[in-house]
Amino acid sequence: MPRVVLPEGSRKTRLDVALSAALPDVSRATVQRWIAERRVQVDGAPARAKDAVQAGAVIDYEPGPLPTSSALPERDVVFEVVYEDEHLVVVDKPAGLVVHPGKGNWTGTLVNGLLARPGFGRPPADSRDPEGALRPGVVHRIDKDTSGLLVVAKTAPAREALKEQFAAHDIDRAYLALTLGVPRSGRIETLHSRHPTARLKFTSKTETGKIAVTHVEVLEAFQTRAAFVRCTLETGRTHQIRVHLAERCSTPLLADALYGRRAPDLGVSLERQALHAAVLGFVHPHTRERVRFESELPADLQLALDVLRASYPEAARR
């Protein structure tokens, strides 16, 4: 039975909160279901979701059976297919589109749209992924309001091969972004975990968690007010770029409602964070050849960049 031991310095909190924080790929709702099914013990005894746990607590858990996906095909979900074969599909996701069904977004997701495509069925569920039935074939995600490239497996072998590459950090991923202020170019390495008080956020200001590494390159600096940057990932933690730019560089993404701050008047109007997944490269799970895909800035980010260039014609291009 898998085990989690809460490290020294852990705050006293609810069991379901502590366990879901220790298992970032498992939702709190799933953890609560395990607890209700008496699959979780604390220090050898059954416990309730609301029971308090603290540093040193030993939590044993047994993942429950996978739920059946209720995702239905929806032909009206809009996205661009960049590449497709019998093994996988690479899409260019528009901002505003959720990747897979979940709380608050049970319909209208990328998965719903993919299920409506000929040849895209439901790959067998992954017993190692408690949420897998809700996201068939999805091996990585980008935020709802981030645009750009995403690969989705169409078969179980392709899914496993791609997951191994992501776990080994053998995926090429580069993002283009606009920041409030100008970050310093360089390598950022931190620990990464859920924020202790803000449920929707993650943080690098932690003494526990997983390693997160981002390479930041300033492409253009608009005085000290904004910048056009490229962020290359070694790891792919949730909100990693957003957290590193905001917490480690003090230069959050433009229009990032979660990690940002009120921007001065830059003449730029954006309705989502200025982040775009521009490059995706990996070894094809069937041909074993390395493939690479690129996506241009979408219209809203290109317009924002053009406004900044016009407002600051003396911008330093690196």
Tokens of 14: 């609810």
Integer Cα distance of 1 and 63 in angstroms: 9
Integer Cα distance of 59 and 31 in angstroms: 12
Integer Cα distance of 192 and 253 in angstroms: 18
- CA distances, 74 to each of 109, 110, 115, 117, 233 (Å): 9, 9, 7, 9, 32
- pLDDT, residue 121, reads 66
Domain containing 11: what range?
A: 3-61
Residues 85 and 12 in one domain: no
Q: What is the pLDDT of residues 14-46, one digit of tens each?
A: 999 999 889 877 878 889 989 999 999 999 999
Residues 51 and 137 in one domain: no
Q: Read off the pLDDT of each residue in 107-112 and give the average, rounded to a whole number.
A: 88
Residue 29 forms part of a structural domain: yes
Tokens of 291: 């493939």
Q: What is the pLDDT of residues 145-172, one digit of tens each?
A: 999 999 999 888 898 899 999 999 999 9
% of the chain with per-residue pLDDT over 90: 69
Would you state the torsion angle of the CA atoms of residues 283, 287, 288, 292, taken in this order, to the nearest 10 degrees? -30
172 is an active site residue = no
Among the residue ranges 71-80, 123-132, 277-286, the one predicted with the least confidence is 123-132
Angle at 97 between CA 212 and CA 294, to 5 degrees: 60
Name residue 177's beta-bridge partners.
Answer: 229, 275
- Read off the pLDDT band of 67 (50, 70, 90): low
Residue 91 forms part of a structural domain: yes
- CATH number of the domain to which 105 belongs: 3.30.2350.10
Q: What is the pLDDT of residues 204-229, one digit of tens each?
A: 999 999 999 999 999 999 999 999 99
- pLDDT, residue 133, reads 57
Per the prediction, the chain carries an average pLDDT of 90
Q: Name the residue among 242, 244, 145 with its Cα closest to residue 185.
A: 244
Catalytic residue among 126, 129, 143, 145: 143
Residues 195 and 307 in one domain: yes
Residue 71 forms part of a structural domain: no
Residues 143 and 32 in one domain: no
- pLDDT, residue 14, reads 95
- CATH number of the domain to which 29 belongs: 3.10.290.10
Query: Which of 167, 197, 225 is the last residue before a domain boundary?
Result: 167
Residues 157 and 219 in one domain: no
Helix (H, G, I), strand (E, B) or coil at 299: helix
Integer Cα distance of 144 and 158 in angstroms: 24
Asked whether the predicted pLDDT for residue 131 surpasses 60, the reply is no
Place of tokens 């109007």: 269
- Read off the pLDDT band of 66 (50, 70, 90): low
Query: Which of 146, 167, 188 is the last residue before a domain boundary?
Result: 167
Integer Cα distance of 163 and 156 in angstroms: 10
For residues 56 and 87, the answer to whether their CB atoms sit within 8 Å is: no
- Read off the pLDDT band of 137 (50, 70, 90): confident
